[in-house]
A and B are shown apart, each in its own frame.
Chain A
Amino acid sequence: MAYNFHPYYLNKHLNMNFGRFFLRVYAIWQFITRFFREVLLPPYEYKEIINQFFQVGIRSLSIITLTGFITGVVFTKQSRSSLAEFGAASWLPSLIAIALIRALAPLVTALIIAGKVGSNIGAELGSMKVTEQIDAMEVSSTNPFKFLVASRILATTAIVPVLAIYMGFVGLMGAYMNVHHNEQTSFTSFFQSAFMKITFLDVWVLLLKSAVYGFTIGVAGCFNGYNADQGTVGVGRAANTAVVVSMFLIFIEEMIIVQLVNYFKHG
């Protein structure tokens, strides 16, 4: 037991992990550059790309609708009392719109897609890897990286922004129903005041950062699945790592993007 605390072993342990960590970062970097190379160079797997767009989009639609609606309703309910304290209950629609468009919609969408689609990609590619289906594709003269990886990363990158916009809309609908029920605000006046504080920049940032999250989810799922090993254990681990890593990175990216946007806005 005691040897664990000896500086020599501690040092050795750290060195090993640092070495492995940097090897992994390098491997991921290679994976990402390969993605851009394969995406840009023909032949293009149109059919499979379209197929993945539908897989990612359609299969997530119901859960995004549900969570978006609930987010809108709950956030409205929870904010009302504090705004009312300052006599600012009429600010409710624009507060909710800002919260949804700037933060909640992209973040919640990305986390849900990471859990649902990211784990699915990790498990699917992982099991294809360990059962030699990826090798089989390769000997069928099909580039498995293009067919499986590039199409999935493209799909998550393109679809998460669409779903995030959709969640923003559904969330506002939830908020409207709650506000209408309590304050009898009309549909037009709700949305007029909701969009008063929303700028084009906000929408662009939402699209851009959701695309970054989607790319992260796709890369994390594909990298872990494509490099899975050690049989069925490896498949489970690939799915799990894909989710944990992408959720972690999404929060880091959120923080960086918020800083950058503030910097550009206010100099």
Chain B
Amino acid sequence: MANSMAKTISTPIDRSRPVISIRGLKKGFGNMQVLKGVDLDVYHGENLVVLGRSGSGKSVLIKIMAGLLKPDAGTVSVLGRDIARLNTKELQALRTRIGFSFQNSALYDGMDVRANLEFPLVRNKRHLSHSQIDAAIAKVLDDVGLSQTLYQMPSELSGGQRKRIGIARTLILQPEIMLYDEPTAGLDPVTSVEINDLINEVQERYHTSSVIITHDLTCAKATGDRLVMLSEGQFLRQGSFEEVFDTDDPKVKNFYNYNFIAGS
């Protein structure tokens, strides 16, 4: 079943233009080293999947890309800017070009869907008129297929709907880079497939470069143009889905077997 879900959409990928470039990245908390020297390029137009077990530091990696955590060592350059050297203003300006879909969706539970979508817009584009704001909200809601939820509260939405609204909230600023932290975690298989399709549609329609963090191989296969595998603070393998899993390395084999045997 999983094999029939390979990615069909293909957009031009420009390998000469990295949008994110990471060299020698290290990050630890207290005595625990989470990332131990990571090198990574994300190219213009591609969907890069980062695979790894729970606790392997995937969320830490993606949060460093968005400037939410500071690296201990190494350089992280996003859209040509070295993230560690930016001041607050520059970092804020850069962040409007990056969308972040959180593991728990992170919708503001005190606000309804409309206010959630409006938040990044009114705070970053203060010159917009009411009708422009309404139009932008209607468009992203339509793009994620949830126009009917405009005045619902986050607590009234299903997990899949919350994920979609979370993605819509980042799309409203038309980002150049999308960062997805576990887009399918906690969702049933059917909803997962819908989210995978949405990720590909976003790539196609918004011409984004994306980083998709996941431990779900179905998602990896369906959305990834290229995969890298994170294990014990370093990248084990990278390449297409077939290239990554065509190996005898027991760590990689275990990951594959558990996903497809235990998961289906």
Q: Mark A117-135, 1 if CB is under 8 A from B, else 0.
A: 0000000100110011101
In the complex, the chain B residue whose C-beta lies closest to that of A132 is B106
**Residue among B68, B103, B104, B106 facing the most chain A CB atoms (10 A cut-off):** B106
Is B96 interfacial (CB-CB < 8 Å)?
yes
For the complex, give the distance between the alpha carbons of A142 and B170 in Å. 14
Binds A, one of B33-41, B119-127, B232-240: B119-127
For the complex, give the distance between the alpha carbons of A244 and B107 in Å. 30
CB atoms of B92 and A141 under 8 A apart:
yes
B110 — which chain A residues lie within 8 A by C-beta?
Answer: 124
CB atoms of A140 and B106 under 8 A apart:
no
CB within 8 Å of A: which of B93-110?
93, 95-96, 98, 100, 102-104, 106-110
Q: Interface size on A (CB < 8 Å)? A: 15
B100 — which chain A residues lie within 8 A by C-beta?
Answer: 135-136, 139
Q: Dominant SS at the A interface? A: helix
For the complex, give the distance between the alpha carbons of A127 and B103 in Å. 15
Q: Dominant SS at the B interface? A: mixed
Is A138 interfacial (CB-CB < 8 Å)?
yes
CB atoms of B123 and A135 under 8 A apart:
no
Question: What is the distance, in angstroms, from A247's C-beta to the closest C-beta of chain B?
Answer: 26
Is B63 interfacial (CB-CB < 8 Å)?
yes
Is B66 interfacial (CB-CB < 8 Å)?
yes
Q: Which of B102, B107, B124 contacts A141 (CB 8 A)?
A: B124
A128 — which chain B residues lie within 8 A by C-beta?
Answer: 108
CB atoms of B124 and A140 under 8 A apart:
yes
CB atoms of A131 and B106 under 8 A apart:
yes
For the complex, give the distance between the alpha carbons of A132 and B124 in Å. 20
B66 — which chain A residues lie within 8 A by C-beta?
Answer: 139
Chain A contacts to B: CB under 8 angstroms:
124, 127-128, 131-133, 135-143
| Minimum-distance CB pairs A-B, first 7 | A136-B106, A141-B92, A132-B106, A140-B120, A139-B100, A132-B102, A133-B106
**What are 27 pairs between A and B in contact, CB < 8 Å?**
A124-B110, A127-B109, A131-B106, A132-B102, A132-B106, A135-B100, A136-B106, A136-B107, A136-B108, A136-B169, A137-B108, A138-B68, A139-B66, A139-B68, A139-B98, A139-B100, A140-B95, A140-B119, A140-B120, A140-B124, A140-B169, A141-B96, A141-B120, A141-B123, A141-B124, A142-B119, A142-B123
In the complex, besides A135-B100, A136-B102, 12 extra interface pairs with C-beta distance below 8 angstroms are A132-B103, A133-B108, A135-B106, A136-B100, A136-B169, A139-B170, A140-B123, A140-B169, A141-B93, A141-B120, A141-B123, A142-B123
